[in-house]
Structure 1
Amino acid sequence: MAPSLQHLLDRHALGLRLVVAGTAGSLERPVAWVSSSDLPDPTPFLIADQIVLTTGTQFGTAVSATQVEAYVARLAAAGVAALGFGTEVITAGPPSELAQACAEHGVPLFEVPYRTPFIAVIRYAADLIAEADRERDAWALAAQRSIAFAALRPDASHAVVTELARALGAWVVLLDAHAATIADAAADGGRLRGRDRLVERVAEEAQGLLRRGQRSGATFTSPSGTVSLQTLGRRGDLRGVLAIGGADGPLDAAAQGVVTSVVAITGLTLEQGGALGRAGRALRLGVWRLLLAGESDAAGTVAEELATPLPSGAVRVGVATAADDGREALLSELERAAALAVGDLFVAEHDGRLSLIASDTPGLDAVLEGLFGGTPGRHLGLSRAVGLADLALGVGQAVSAHAQAAAEGRSIERFGALAVGGMTGLLDAARSRPVAEDLLGPVLLADREEGSALVESLRQWLEANGQWDPAAKRLGIHRHTLRNRITRVERLLERPLDTFAARTEVWLALVSLEDAGSGSGSGSGSARD
């Protein structure tokens, strides 16, 4: 603990006497050094939190209140911790003008008796400062030793962060290269709870540092005090960010040394974790290929050895993508989710996509919703529940669902919901409508110009599977009239409608126009009424 003016006053051998106490807390203020000076303005040679000793020679015997007030004002502005006045050199005691100026500026004033050399005060303060430095060095060494042992644990990142928080009496957050939280700890070593907004702010600031790609630091002010951030890793290859906040005041040199050691350890840990992560991804890809090859038993054995067991029973296969600059972040988040849901989620990279196998459980659905629901550019297609032996079927369903999700801008598409609409539900309205309008254009134009009902007659005839009487009855016209209308439609389309393929193409064109909200001429009804 750094010495204070109170420590000096308590040293009876020095015989110091307090004259002006200064502001609240001034007597306990840490002192950086003690020196003597009789210069009219010693401030160019001072540091903050220093005690100045003077005999008052600069004031002379005829003390000027103006001169003294300016002198004390300069000391206060320089951050001087206290002023000591040596008696019986120029005056018998501190001049009243000096005492008044010190009181006005909140600078403590104490009297140094003639029998006490200034060097005795300086030496005692220096001994206290050296002892405090030794205590901080011992503290730093013990903290670094605890952190080094923590780094050897299986959960190295969490253990190191917890030890650092405990040592500093502050909260600590470790974020990865995508500003996602890897580990956090409160000052008591527990988890950092109830501070979601603060963690979000930390993540936002971390993203700014990571985007620059350079080793750097930053600070910002929060309700809990100053928060400092430091990047981890090399320039151009940043691995994460370490954030510290809630400490009692700025970190001293010893604390900064401990933080520096943690920056080195966590940077190395994340570097090693990155290499292990890349190896793990390669092995999981091998497991995925074994599954696709029908070697489910071998795949299960390898997955068990990797401590990433495959989900059992009914599973859903997923295919996921993200924007180019968010793909790695999504993969990391999926891997963390898989680590927290061992045996319920398996993740692999395959054919440029992120593929996953998830247990068919509501809890895991909620996890996936959280990963994809709130982030633009992320799309996930999920299959129906299948067995691992039917992985290829599940992949096909997931690919179809993903394509639909991406086309329509949805975060998650489930094949079960997709299949409800049948094959026509797979039509891309934005792409199929122009083709439908081009195909049926002559018929649509005839309806608009002549007020005929060719489109509606065509639709009803196709709905009736090409049977004349049911379609004519529904339209309220004679079957010969309907025949004439269909014959005219064939002439306008320049194609006969006597084959299944031709009728199907025209039918799909009608569905595309209907789904896109297109009018169908001035007909007398709707095929869906």
Structure 2
Amino acid sequence: MTLVRTLLEIPELRLRLRTGSALLGREISRIYVTELPDPSRYVSAGEVVLTGLLWWRQPGDAEPFVAALARAGVAALAASGADTEGIPDDVVRACAQHRIPLLEVPSDLSFAVVTERVVLALAADRGREPSGARKRLLTTAEASLPVLLHQGARELGAPCWVLSATGRVVAGTAPDAPSAEWLNPERERTVHERYTLLPVRGRFRLPWILAVGSPETGDLADELAGLVGLARARAEQVRRTADRAAEPLFTALGGGSGDLAAAFAATGRAESVRVVLVRTPDDLAAELLAELVADLSASTGFLGEDACAVVDADERWPSDWATMARHGLSIVDHLVGLPRVSVGIGGPATVDGLRGAAQEARQAAEVASRRPDPLGVVAGEDIAVHRLLVAGAPDELRRSVRARVLGDLLAYDAAQGTDLVRTVRVFLECSSSPTAAAKALHVHVNTLRYRIARASELLGLDLNDFPTQVDVYLALQA
């Protein structure tokens, strides 16, 4: 049988035992890679859990993660501390407390290599060599996703696709990809007519989906899904590196130190760009944003608490991007459930107008957050200018303006049971036409004129004066 100590004896892995020397006799059933802060739904007894500790941010994070492994009966934890300058002490302490052997993976060792060696050890222990198909598939473990999928399709004898949580086709070996919406997120695999869909687990909250063009797939499809997860992790590392290079741009864009023009030039973005901003009540915004702009040329980062992307406004920017984003978010909501998501779009703009485009995106996201649809996507260019300006004003200022301009009229309506505020609004929205406003309110035009005169008297303003009309209308919008 393959034991935890067996892994320590594989010279290519160079694993180092950090704690759990008395527990090395535990039997291993398989290997599972994850970066989820709470992996309890996906781990099971006898597994070796492999992690890059991307879920660890501060002391205390290890306790719930390791406790979940212990409850599941995991055989061991193998961790690489490349992003945390070694394995944090509280991870070691939590493993010791919950009796989970902890193996340190060298930072220069690919997880694909670890997975391959463990799979081969398990196969040898079961008295059989891995099938030729599995061996051939494992040889592409560190290849690009298209190469990996083509090998998988060849071994499975069926076309393969990888779909994102928004329904985007990440890669595929044939046209006519199935829909991501067919996946049942409660099952390990979903068979839909002539397709099999498997969720690709890993460090991400938004899953990828492996789709195979056959209703009958064996363990090899699960193996392929695992390798797809490793390919995604490698791609994410590349993206994170690019994001670090773009940090000066977002620092300068947010009003911090640095030359905005120089930082913009360093990113290599096009002359004209758009700004996309995603706001959520949790920490999902960055992952959602990365997925929404995945097919575009973009630099991503943060503006305050909001995830932000500066996107080339070239021919790759679809004219119906907002509609596409709403549809993608609805698929994500079906698969994993989403909190309120507000997406704002600003621009297009050159570097000289970039800060303005970022402000426009922020205000568009604010407008989206006030709409009843919990998955809101709003472009600044689709908002009337007066609404965009009002949305940008702080709440306190809007309340103050409303009270100062409309206070006496609001008080009169409350005391008398009238609705002069609505009369004024309709009058202004009808371009100050008494005839049109009277028709909209279903009253005689003389009644309308009387009400406007009374409202003017209460406000102490001339509602036939255009600048006054603008002030009053903005106060109504506030």
| TM-score normalised by length of structure 1 | 0.45
Between Structure 1 and Structure 2, the one with more helix by share is 1
Larger RCO, structures 1/2 (Cα 8 Å, 6+ apart): 2
